[in-house]
Amino acid sequence: MEQNNFFKIVSAFLLGLIVGYLLGKANFSGAAMPRIEANSSVKIQGQENAPVTITEYSDFQCPLCHSFFVNSYPTILENYIKTGKVKYVYKHFPLNIHPQAPAAALASECALDQNKFWEMHDKLFENQDRWSGNPSHGDIFKQLAADIGLDQAKFNQCYDQATYKNNVDVDYNEAITNGFRGTPTFYINDQLIVGAQDTKVFTDAIDALLNK
């Protein structure tokens, strides 16, 4: 009996350490953290040698990701990416609470296969209310592929066969390894920003790095 109690105490102690660690990982908004990055498909826009790199871990079905896309992304695109100051990297982090998100990520990877990831990226967010929660989401993705001029037969085969599922999984597992728990989550160089923050949060972080 004493031995059993001992093991129970040790197990409870270890469980407490694990829970404390996970909670500590969750409280990281705005902090600088070590960055763990795996090999994955390349979804980049901007100059390769730009002084600032933003990496977004995102979910096409996430309302907050849509909010960032509408409110902050255009400013970053026009003022920093197109001017050569920022290299922008997109990573998939489809959350379990968004059932169509993995399929949307697959659609974007099939567009990437035809060098039109960013066009599909924009279309998926612009039409989120059409396909999110829709059982016919696959048909909508195929129509969006046609709208941006993709080879329809090639896209359909890629999507139907989930050709690039591994690319989505690699990004997702990278996010989990980094301890992320929600979307959108960003690295601006090594600074972590969590959530669809006000545009000024992003521009201030970028400008601080550019002015170093």
Q: What percent of the chain has pLDDT over 90?
A: 80
CATH code at position 198: 3.40.30.10
Do residue 63 and residue 16 come from a single domain?
no
Task: Specify if 169 maps to a domain.
Answer: yes
Q: Read off the pLDDT of each residue in 32-51 and give the average, rounded to a whole number.
A: 77
Look at residue 25 and tell me if it is in a domain.
yes
155, 205: one domain: yes
Residue 39 is assigned to a structural domain of this protein = no
Is residue 38 included in any domain, yes or no? Answer: no
Q: Please tell me whether residues 82 and 113 are part of one structural domain.
A: yes
Per DSSP, 32 falls in state: B
Please report the pLDDT score of residue 144 as a whole number: 98
What pTM does this model have?
0.83
Q: How far apart are CA 180 and CA 202, in angstroms?
A: 19
Pairing of strands 185-188, 52-58: antiparallel
Residues 11 and 68 in one domain: no
Same domain? For 159 and 72 the reply is yes
Same domain, 127 and 180: yes
Residue 52 and residue 93 in one domain: yes
What is 87-117 written as a DSSP string?
EEEEEE---TT-TTHHHHHHHHHHHHTTT-H
- Cα 18 → chain centroid: 26
Same domain for 95 and 24: no
Work out the mean pLDDT of the chain and round it to a whole number: 87
CB 124 within 8 A of CB 144: yes
Look at residue 176 and tell me if it is in a domain: yes
Are residues 2 and 103 located together in one domain of the fold? no
pLDDT in tens, 122-178: 999 999 999 999 999 999 999 999 999 999 999 999 999 999 999 999 999 999 999
Q: Is there a single domain that holds both residue 150 and residue 187?
A: yes
Tokens of 12: 């409870």
Note the pLDDT of residue 38. 62
The domain tally of the chain equals 2
Judgement on whether residues 54 and 154 belong to the same structural domain of the protein = yes
- Residue 9 belongs to what domain range? 1-29
Beta-carbon contacts of residue 142 (< 8 Å; ≥ 6 apart): 152, 155, 156, 159
Q: Sorting pLDDT into bands at 50, 70 and 90, what band is 27?
A: very low
Q: Is 6 inside any structural domain? A: yes
Q: pLDDT per residue over 56-73, tens digit each?
A: 999 999 999 999 999 999
Q: Are residues 75 and 9 in the same domain?
A: no
In the predicted structure, residue 11 carries a pLDDT above the cut 80: no
Residue 37 lies in a domain: no
No. of helices (H) and no. of strands (E), the chain: 10, 5
The verdict on residue 83 lying in a domain is yes
Of 3-12, 98-107, 177-186, 190-199, which gets the smallest average pLDDT?
Answer: 3-12
Q: Which residue has the tokens 């728990």?
A: 181
Angle 116-117-120 from CA coordinates, rounded to 5°: 90
Q: What is the pLDDT of residue 125?
A: 98
